[in-house]
Amino acid sequence: MPYISFCYNSSMKAKDYELNRSLGYLVNALSLNMKQRLDVKLKEHKVTVHQFGILLIIYKKSSLTQKEIADQTSGDEPATARLMNRLEDKGHIKRVVDKVDKRKRLVSLTQEGEILLNRLLPYAQEINEDLTSVLSQAEQKDLLIMLTKIVTSSGEK
């Protein structure tokens, strides 16, 4: 039997499937752990994990449209719009009409949003470092390479 159960084949029976060796189960468990830990830290600043992600995306590529942000977060536009409304109400982002295409509104961080993001980033870094501390530097690098390869290739099929 393969080491990781996601190498499922048609002859495999349910009794042979080991959940704790399933890529989906393990990645989801890790993701939930990270999200829960980050949620605790971000609540102090009245920010959700999703809002944090949006702030980071906007910071990395300022002046994005709402649709571009939704695409990068794998979220739908209405949900992204609601999150961005909250961020705008708090003064963390601003939206301005695109000079080229008046139908679009470009989103960027305010100075307060950038200050907040710089306060929040150490929390995410601390959680990443804590969870990967059981791995050597080489293993951490390999894990990142492998996960990136899986994620980027899954969109090609």
In a domain, 52, yes or no: yes
In a domain, 38, yes or no: no
Domain count, the chain: 1
Closest by CA position to 57, among listed 122, 49, 79: 49
In a domain, 22, yes or no: no
In a domain, 99, yes or no: yes
C-alpha span between 147 and 61 (Å, rounded) = 23
pTM, rounded to two decimals: 0.81
In a domain, 123, yes or no: yes
User: What does the DSSP 8-state code read for residue 12?
Assistant: -
In a domain, 29, yes or no: no
Residuewise pLDDT in 10s, the chain (157 residues): 445 555 556 677 777 777 777 888 889 999 999 999 999 999 999 999 999 999 999 999 878 888 889 888 877 888 888 998 999 999 999 999 888 888 888 999 999 999 999 999 999 999 999 999 999 999 999 999 999 998 888 766 5
Q: Write out the residue range of the structural domain in which residue 95 sits.
A: 48-154
In a domain, 9, yes or no: no
Domain containing residue 91: CATH number: 1.10.10.10
In a domain, 87, yes or no: yes
